[in-house]
Structure 1
Amino acid sequence: MTRDKAKRKNGRKHIVGVLDIGTSKVACLIAAVEPGGVGPDGGGIRILGLGHQRAEGVKGGVIIDLDRAEQAARAAVAQAERMAGVELAEVHVSVSCGRLTSHNFSAKADVTSGLVSEVDLDRLLAAGQSYVEQGGRSLVHLNEVALRLDGAPGSRDPRGMAAREIALDLHAVSADEAPLHNLLMVVNRCYLEPASCVPAPLASALAATSEDERRLGVTAIDIGAGATSLAMFAEDRFLYACSAPFGGAQITFDIARALHTPLAEAERIKALYGTVVCAPSDEHDVFSYPGAGEEHDVTHQMTKAELAEVVRPRVRTIVDHIRQRLDACELTAYAGRCVVLTGGTSALTGLADYVAAELGRPVRVSGPQAVSGLPPALSGAAFSTVVGLLLADRSEHAGRRVLGGSNAGAGSYLKRVGSWLREGF
């Protein structure tokens, strides 16, 4: 029985493939999407196939060995294709490499015909892409924050409306060209075309936060194995993103060095006994572990409280970086106080309480929202990014209508965005 090409229609549904190449794992999902598209709660999606492999050739979210990364990606895609019974031609790809940077700027153009058309939007697209792609940077994502026709607030889709001038406040995410090129090279070497590139912070946020949270204002923090990322939303608009090349893998390395135990054992210890906030009983809760290079029957012992002293300094470093990014971002106030924590490292015992105390904000831990056909093993916070890639297929989030423009000054931009958000409430 020959497999159907994924680009063909499956009844009235269409097939979507997504690929997340992370530091610790490579995950691929193939889903059937209803003709009406993906709902805000993940409705309209049914998982047909999934592939999950240990990542190779990736460090801090960056490809460092093309051959090894390709082999892991191929294995994950092939596993998903066999389960789904389809052959993918293209995939939506998550991007966490290349020092992801947000750009907030404004664009305006005269409407020569008197009616806003696709041509007017294309002019803004070309100008915006030229503005962002400077100094070795590539555009990954661009979305509209606010729109004005002749100075008055307009609709999200202005095409066909009468106006003399169209003005847009925009948010873009860019990445360094070389790391992004290497990521896409791995995808191409798997005989796949990148259907779109989605910033990993955006994908994780869409999976881990609710539509109400994104409308009222939320900051999503994804702490993965090799990267920590932030995404901010207000009024359901994507406002800010950033990513740093460190995460839970550094905690594992710290445990391995302190205990002189193999990395695999250190990862097991972190998952079973790792904690940030100690309870009195942790002083007496003892676990055993083997030493590196020693006989199998030789074991050592440590209490959970002693392990916490190893874990806490690295966690403090990660949280300090998050706080610095939040303090430096002028849009933080518009995203509200709510913080949602996701990613594999978010499962670390006591991490949410520690982050809440350090940031002075309410924090909750969240995994990806329920999607039909997603097995429990892939429903944890470690898989928020790959599930979020399916949700990012919605055009209003994925930025398919890519718009851009020239810089109108950060001060005036922030003032207008703040005014627009207040009016929205």
Structure 2
Amino acid sequence: MSALDHNQAPKTRPMSGKRTALVASLDIGTSKIACMIARLTPCPPSEALGGRSHAVELIGYSQIQSRGVKAGAVVDLAECEQAVRQAVAAAEDMAKVRVESVLLSVSAGRLQGQLIEAAADIKGGAVTSADVSRVTSAGMHHATGEGRTVLHALPISYSLDGVKGVRDAKGMVARQFGVDMNVVTADTTVVKNLMLVVERCHLNVEAMAASPYVAGLSVLTDDEADLGAAVVEMGAGTTTIATYSGGRFMHASGFALGGQHITMDLARGLSACIADAERIKTLYGTVLTGGSDAHELMSVPSAGDDELDVPQVVSHATIANIVRPRAEEIFEMVRDRLADSPFAAEPKARVVLSGGASQLTGILELATRILNRPVRT
């Protein structure tokens, strides 16, 4: 297994704007493992998304039920390895290619973003790429605690002789150069075991990325990222948060609570098996109760093995009364983490929900009430 480089996860190498390439991404989640393979083709800036130099053609993908994973972390190496092999093979068969390396997303390991300021004297007068790397590395080292691995060290802005707000300092002249950056870290053990699973499948981990950062790149509009927004990725075993402002990724955090906890609450509350509870959540899960809900009834099979067990009859209101407290707990934890982030300074900025658990009926109204912000999915 390849070692982490000074407690830093692998990073993507710069790619030539004139080169065509294949890229594979892998998401090892609590409920599903997904693999996507795409072909990147150089194209004029007007034909690509903002800030991108290539067009993306999806040529293969797969999604299978996850095994050996709990709260986004590996708990059974052999089971998880087999599931990853199956997901990657299915995507390869569809794309008719074989991949050697993957981009791996990380949602577990108590993701945490930290705003770091670092500065250094400039020897040559003008800021160079080497100066940027030197100051960024110094700040990153300061932010890395015991047992933590750096996933991202992304500059937010630069300063020249104490004057802040510089967007690109390369080539500019100053005596002292500084950088404000968002350093995102995760538990080293979680990161290493995710890498180990992939490498046991004879694949290299080309780079790792925090899943809320990826979600932000996927679902935010340019205006939302510029004006300020938070992405709340509601997964099965984890809920992760990324905040953006001025078009920059400002903060990340996460906790091990998600849609699977709602499923388990339903299984216990209805005395149903987990598969039936998941189906009930998917089809009838709601956090709203109305006048007719008490009279809308459904049959729930018993969790026992005895075929003679009589199914119980429950109302939609009963389901909502089980789902709502856990959903409220999740959004209360989101609210507390947003209050401890730079996002607290933007009280009217929007929250965008993504992930499977965000599909529950009434979740927008509940999130808007608890977070006291405009919310969309």
Displacement of 1:118: 2.3
Amino acid at match of 2:41: E
Q: Distance in 2 between matches of 1:75 and 1:184?
A: 17
Displacement of 1:331: 3.7
Bigger relative CO (Cα 8 Å, ≥ 6 apart): 1
Match of 1:254 in 2: 265
**2:31 is the counterpart of 1:24:** yes
Q: 1:40 to 1:25 in 2, by over 3 A?
A: farther
Match of 1:208 in 2: 219
2:41 counterpart (19, 34, 39) = 34
Amino acid at match of 1:201: P
Amino acid at match of 2:178: A
Match of 1:139 in 2: 150
Q: Distance in 2 between matches of 1:156 and 1:30?
A: 33
Match of 2:133 in 1: 122
Amino acid at match of 1:315: A
Match of 2:84 in 1: 73
> Unaligned regions of 5+ residues in structure 1, if any?
1-7, 366-425
Match of 1:397 in 2: none
**2:288 is the counterpart of 1:277:** yes
**2:236 is the counterpart of 1:236:** no
Amino acid at match of 1:131: H
Amino acid at match of 1:174: T
Displacement of 1:12: 5.5
**2:180 is the counterpart of 1:151:** no
Match of 1:353 in 2: 365
Q: Distance in 2 between matches of 1:156 and 1:81?
A: 40
Question: Deviation string for 1:159-203 (max 9, x for gaps)?
Answer: 333322211111110111111111111111121211211111111
What secondary structure does 2:292 align onto? Answer: helix
Q: Distance in 2 between matches of 1:124 and 1:41?
A: 24
Counterpart mapping for 1:305-320 below 5 A: 305-320=317-332
- TM-score using structure 1 length: 0.80
What secondary structure does 1:280 align onto? Answer: coil
**Contact kept? 1:234, 1:335, Cα under 8 Å:** no
What secondary structure does 1:141 align onto? Answer: strand
Counterpart mapping for 1:298-337 below 5 A: 298-334=310-346, 336-337=348-349
1:59 counterpart (70, 73, 82) = 70
**Contact kept? 1:116, 1:161, Cα under 8 Å:** yes
Q: Distance in 1 between matches of 2:186 and 2:180?
A: 20
What secondary structure does 1:87 align onto? Answer: coil
Q: Distance in 1 between matches of 2:41 and 2:167?
A: 23
Displacement of 1:347: 0.4
**Contact kept? 1:150, 1:166, Cα under 8 Å:** yes
Displacement of 1:280: 2.0
Q: Distance in 1 between matches of 2:169 and 2:256?
A: 39
Could you say what the CA RMSD is over the residues aligned between the two structures, in angstroms?
Answer: 2.2
> Unaligned regions of 5+ residues in structure 2, if any?
1-14
1:102 counterpart (97, 113, 119) = 113
Match of 1:287 in 2: 298
**Contact kept? 1:110, 1:165, Cα under 8 Å:** yes
Q: Distance in 2 between matches of 1:292 and 1:154?
A: 60
Q: 1:134 to 1:253 in 2, by over 3 A?
A: same
Amino acid at match of 1:299: P
Amino acid at match of 2:238: A
Q: Distance in 2 between matches of 1:41 and 1:23?
A: 32
Displacement of 1:146: 1.1
Displacement of 1:327: 2.1
Match of 1:218 in 2: 229
**2:93 is the counterpart of 1:86:** no
1:175 counterpart (179, 183, 186) = 186
**Contact kept? 1:290, 1:296, Cα under 8 Å:** no
Of residues 253-262 and 290-299 in structure 1, the stretch that sits farther from structure 2 once superposed is 290-299
Displacement of 1:336: 4.2
Q: Distance in 1 between matches of 2:372 and 2:133?
A: 43
Amino acid at match of 1:206: L
Displacement of 1:217: 0.6
2:355 counterpart (343, 361, 365) = 343
Amino acid at match of 1:328: D
Q: 1:199 to 1:119 in 2, by over 3 A?
A: same
Q: 1:328 to 1:153 in 2, by over 3 A?
A: closer
Displacement of 1:142: 1.1
Identity %: 39
Q: Distance in 2 between matches of 1:115 and 1:286?
A: 72
**Contact kept? 2:116, 2:143, Cα under 8 Å:** no
**Contact kept? 1:217, 1:235, Cα under 8 Å:** yes
Q: Distance in 2 between matches of 1:177 and 1:101?
A: 13
Q: How many residues align?
A: 357
**Contact kept? 1:219, 1:335, Cα under 8 Å:** no
Question: Deviation string for 1:115-151 (max 9, x for gaps)?
Answer: 2222212211331232122211111111111112233
**Contact kept? 1:137, 1:175, Cα under 8 Å:** yes
Of residues 335-344 and 224-233 in structure 1, the stretch that sits farther from structure 2 once superposed is 335-344
Question: Deviation string for 1:17-48 (max 9, x for gaps)?
Answer: 11100000000100112224861499821110
Match of 2:6 in 1: none
